[in-house]
Structure 1
Amino acid sequence: MELVEATADDLDALVDRWYDLATKMEEYSELNELAYADVREVPDDGFRAHLENEDVTDYLIVHDGETIGFVTLREGRHPSRQYSTYLRIVNVAIDEGDRNRGHGTAVLERVKELARERGCDHLKVSCEWGNEDARRFYRDADFQPKQVDYAQPLE
């Protein structure tokens, strides 16, 4: 498994995989409801902006020459904290047919290597509270619960 930094040529693949991930997240909260009824409606602006942002990087997850998912990473800092430089896993998605084969664990290991290479001292990730599979995956990978996000729609 390898992570290949995405380019402008990969925008369609990123949008397609993001849309699959985002539609699955709808079941966990009304706040996750998408504004797009079809992947063809989704603009590539967000991923295009990532290409220009030095703190955010999108990678294609490639196994045996085939793209099987993607991961979005964002660097950040908390200068007032002992652990001050982090790499956040913003999105991670493995294609449905390639799950439960160790690819997610391999991605985490590679992300740890990237974080160390970039001088980061910790990783961050969040997931939907009701997504027990994701919560179990991160617990099994030795992530520690740190805080809870709350959200409230304003109507």
Structure 2
Amino acid sequence: MTAPDPTMEAITAAVMRGRGGDVAGARSDLEALWSEIGVRGDEFHRCTLAHYLADLYDDAAVALIWDVRALDAADALDDDRAQQHHASLQVAAFYPSLHLNLADNLRRLGSFPAAADHLDRAEERLSALPDDAYGEMIRSALTELRQAVAEHRTERLSSGPDS
């Protein structure tokens, strides 16, 4: 059993607050936690917080900043640290979603070649995903996003990472 992690508990509470409809409150909570953690804080906390915080912004440019922070934190993260939170976690499985989110933001900003590059990176790492509902959701979103990039569409997608 893992030890309690007050920071992860606070991140989870904020995410649930946002999913419950209080997006502004959730953003405020996560931004306050980010100030406590700092840009050099625990990689797992930074990755998780930034990944979820990005989804709380309608502005693709702001979401992109948080998604880049999540990817940077993942690059500094190892499985041992992730498994302190849950024994099943593998950092490699984070990357398809992280690159998918970056691709979606870049697409919404009209940067289609950069979006396609991140879709390629997500596809290269799909084998790290489990064959379950989560893995299927990421694979389906990638397919839909690839089509939207090919068609140069910039609207928010119903299956987007922040939907």
- The answer to whether the superposition gives a TM-score over 0.5 is no
> Higher relative CO (CA 8 A, sep ≥ 6), structure 1 or 2?
1
More strand by share: 1
Q: Which has the higher helix share?
A: 2
